[in-house]
């Protein structure tokens, strides 16, 4: 795949008013556009204070122009950056002029895509650019910065190199069949496969953490009406997001709040109380609640301490996949005269607390941390994506099969084939092996101008 040979342009700053707005141009025409718009091409990599002219020679704006000639640029192409005043009309006029001079409006993520296609960064690094922009916590931002710097890619490449060496070894054994027995019976080969499997396992574990850090966790609060679900959302968020009343059926729609636990982003969703109802609006709410429950990473099932888990709650728990994490919250301990505590109940951890008064909320936070399996943003934590996790899992499986081939039948050919597949899976992470579909998927999530 090759980067386009046309010139792209976009407003790189967010829409709306701001002190400064930036129009970014990349491609072979950037130089011509600079000359037409500014009168002369600025000295490379030096700030130039210039008038930005329209077709009739009128000044659209005055600002800073920066020119970066290929190849030492973000995209690898000629880049022109025009920093003007950040008003939507000024920016639109400036962009319109640039398009008039032969550039085309860039697609979301197209600058980063060109950077990837021109070998300026690999695919995981390009994804980290978007992750850095989207990061919800400071820990996630630091993790994305590490991935952008190549920490994650280096791990993946090192694994890929290890597999390549093993492949060479095994393929040599196949090519010289008279020595095959010796080659494949060699204990060091088995040892190296074991070491590889172990490293894959560790990388998978840190990648899982990386995905958690980037995406955060969907925590859904559910239960019967009036048990204090919305009060719990408010207590966790430390704000009055949700309406709380003594009337059952207060919450109808899904309510979302974002908080973080030691740098791990949590998307908390409050839902309508589950009950049989004739009220049409509430029915819709309950339908949405069920949808949210089905997609939850962690379910907080709220019950009243005085009542405990009811038959309706049991029915809900029975519907959940066994692997789904669930914490039972026994709310309103102040009414039941209980103390805040945490213990292991029938369905997993149970936390007794009072959402209204506060005792036990800290215990719930601790429990959430444990349940998520998130290790507090250790030094060197990097962000990753589900796509990466997927590829690593496939690589792990292929290596496991290769291991079996070696131990069981000493089937050199099969082993070589699985090692090849494992290496291919790793190559998908860095984009060494990619296709248009994958690239479209990755870059379409970017913002315009990045
Ligand atoms: N005493 C006491 N009352 C509570 C506690 N938590 C919630 N409540 C009260 O219980 C009532 C219902 O609280 P909500 O938070 O609206 O309950 P909900 O589960 O969101 O209710 P629906 O949205 O109708 O399903 C309100 O009057 C709250 O003040 C608590 O810990 N102690
Ligand atoms: Mg509610």
- The DSSP secondary-structure symbol of 339 reads P
- Judge whether 308 and 317 are in contact, CB under 8 Å: no
DSSP calls for 87-120: -HHHHHHHHHHHHHTT-EEPPTTHHHHHHHHTTS
Whether domain 131-212+385-431 has CATH 1.20.120.430: the reply is yes
Which has the higher per-residue pLDDT, 14 or 411? 14
Rounded CA gap, 61 and 37, in Å?
11
Residue nearest to atom 26 of ligand 1 (CA): 246
Superfamily of domain 8-121: Probable tRNA modification gtpase trme; domain 1 (3.30.1360.120)
Superfamily of domain 216-372: P-loop containing nucleotide triphosphate hydrolases (3.40.50.300)
CA of 72 to the centre of ligand 2 (A): 56
Position in ligand 1 atom list of the atom nearest CA 355: 31
Taking only the tens place, the pLDDT of each residue in 431-448 is: 999 888 888 888 988 888
Helix/strand/coil for 345: strand
Residue nearest to atom 27 of ligand 1 (CA): 246
Q: What is the pLDDT of residue 45?
A: 97
Ligand 1 contacts CB of residue 229 (under 6 A): yes
* Nearest ligand atom owner, CA of 305: 1
Average pLDDT over residues 376-383: 75
**Residue 378: pLDDT above 70?**
no
Position in ligand 1 atom list of the atom nearest CA 247: 24
Q: Where in the chain is the domain with CATH 3.30.1360.120?
A: 8-121
Percent of the chain with pLDDT over 90: 76
Q: Which two tokens stand for residue 288?
A: 């949405």
Q: How far is CA 318 from CA 260, 301, 323, 347, 352, in A?
A: 29, 12, 12, 10, 22
Q: What is the pLDDT of residue 275?
A: 92
Instruction: Among 138-147, 320-329, 393-402, name the one with the lowest average pLDDT.
Output: 320-329
Rounded CA gap, 252 and 271, in Å?
7
Rounded CA gap, 87 and 100, in Å?
20
CA of 251 to the centre of ligand 2 (A): 4
Q: What is the pLDDT of residue 372?
A: 77
- Judge whether 429 and 204 are in contact, CB under 8 Å: no
Q: Where in the chain is the domain with CATH 3.40.50.300?
A: 216-372
Contacts by 440-443 with C-beta closer than 8 Å and gap 24+? 442/109, 442/123, 442/126, 442/127, 442/387, 443/107, 443/108, 443/109, 443/110, 443/112, 443/113, 443/126
**Residue 65: pLDDT above 70?**
yes
Ligand 1 contacts CB of residue 9 (under 6 A): no
CB atoms within 10 A of CB 376: 12
**Residue 409: pLDDT above 60?**
yes
Rounded CA gap, 10 and 92, in Å?
10
Position in ligand 1 atom list of the atom nearest CA 302: 19
Taking only the tens place, the pLDDT of each residue in 27-41 is: 999 999 999 999 999
Out of 231, 300, 337, 364, give the residue to mutate to test ligand 1, the one with the largest number of ligand atoms within 8 Å of its CB: 231
Position in ligand 1 atom list of the atom nearest CA 333: 31
Ligand 1 contacts CB of residue 338 (under 6 A): no
Ligand 1 contacts CB of residue 359 (under 6 A): no
Out of 242, 356, 364, give the residue to mutate to test ligand 1, the one with the largest number of ligand atoms within 8 Å of its CB: 356
**Residue 411: pLDDT above 60?**
yes
Q: What is the pLDDT of residue 183?
A: 66
Q: What is the pLDDT of residue 375?
A: 73
Percent of the chain with pLDDT over 70: 96
Q: What is the pLDDT of residue 156?
A: 97
- Judge whether 426 and 156 are in contact, CB under 8 Å: yes
- E strand residue ranges, 87-226: 104-105, 217-223
**Residue 119: pLDDT above 70?**
yes
Query: In whole numbers, what is the pLDDT of the chain averaged over residues?
Result: 92
Give me the residues paired with residue 53 across strands: 59
* Number of residues that this document lists for the chain: 450
CA of 348 to the centre of ligand 2 (A): 24
Residues with CB under 5 A from ligand 2 (ion): 229-230, 250-251
Taking only the tens place, the pLDDT of each residue in 324-363 is: 789 999 999 999 999 999 999 988 999 999 999 999 999 9
Q: What is the pLDDT of residue 28?
A: 96
The reported pTM is 0.82
H runs (alpha helix) in 306-383 = 311-319, 333-336, 361-372
């Amino acid at each position: 795949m090759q980067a386009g040979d046309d010139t792209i342009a976009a407003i790189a700053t967010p829409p709306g008013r701001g002190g400064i707005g930036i129009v970014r141009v990349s491609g072979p025409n950037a130089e011509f556009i600079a000359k037409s718009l500014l009168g002369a091409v600025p000295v490379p990599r030096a700030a130039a204070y210039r008038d930005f002219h329209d077709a009739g020679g009128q000044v659209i704006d005055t600002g800073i122009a920066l020119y970066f000639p290929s190849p030492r640029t973000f995209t690898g192409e000629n880049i022109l950056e025009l920093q003007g005043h950040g008003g939507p009309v000024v920016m639109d006029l400036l962009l319109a002029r640039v398009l008039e001079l032969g550039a085309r409006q860039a697609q979301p993520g197209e600058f980063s895509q060109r950077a990837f296609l021109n070998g300026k960064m690999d695919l995981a690094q390009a994804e980290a650019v978007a992750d850095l922009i989207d990061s919800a916590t400071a820990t996630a931002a630091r993790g994305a910065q590490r991935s952008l710097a190549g920490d994650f890619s280096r791990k993946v490449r090192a694994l890929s190199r290890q597999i390549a060496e093993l492949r060479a070894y095994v393929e040599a054994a196949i090519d010289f069949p008279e020595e095959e027995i010796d080659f494949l019976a060699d204990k060091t080969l088995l040892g190296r496969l074991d070491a590889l499997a172990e490293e894959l396992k560790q990388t998978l574990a840190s990648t899982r953490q990386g995905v958690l850090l980037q995406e955060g966790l969907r925590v859904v609060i559910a239960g019967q009406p009036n048990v204090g679900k919305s009060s719990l959302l408010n207590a966790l968020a430390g704000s009055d997001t949700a309406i709380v009343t003594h009337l059952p059926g207060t919450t109808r729609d899904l309510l979302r709040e974002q908080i973080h636990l030691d740098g791990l982003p949590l998307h908390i969703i409050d839902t309508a109380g589950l009950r049989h109802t004739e009220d049409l609006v509430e029915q819709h709410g309950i339908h949405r609640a069920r949808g949210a429950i089905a997609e939850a990473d962690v379910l907080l099932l709220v019950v009243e301490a005085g009542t405990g888990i009811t038959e309706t709650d049991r029915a809900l728990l029975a519907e959940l996949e066994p692997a789904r994490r669930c914490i039972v919250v026994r709310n309103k301990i102040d009414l039941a005269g209980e103390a805040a505590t945490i213990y292991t109940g029938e369905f997993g951890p149970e936390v007794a607390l009072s959402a209204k008064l506060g005792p036990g909320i800290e215990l719930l936070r601790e429990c959430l941390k444990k349940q998520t399996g998130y290790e507090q943003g250790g030094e060197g934590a990097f962000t990753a994506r589900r796509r990466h996790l997927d590829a690593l899992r496939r690589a792990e499986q292929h290596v496991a099969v290769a291991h079996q081939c070696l131990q069981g039948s000493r089937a050199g050919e099969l082993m070589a084939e699985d090692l090849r597949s494992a290496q291919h899976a790793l190559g998908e992470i860095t984009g060494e092996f990619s296709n248009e579909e994958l690239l479209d998927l990755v870059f379409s999530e970017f913002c315009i101008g990045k």
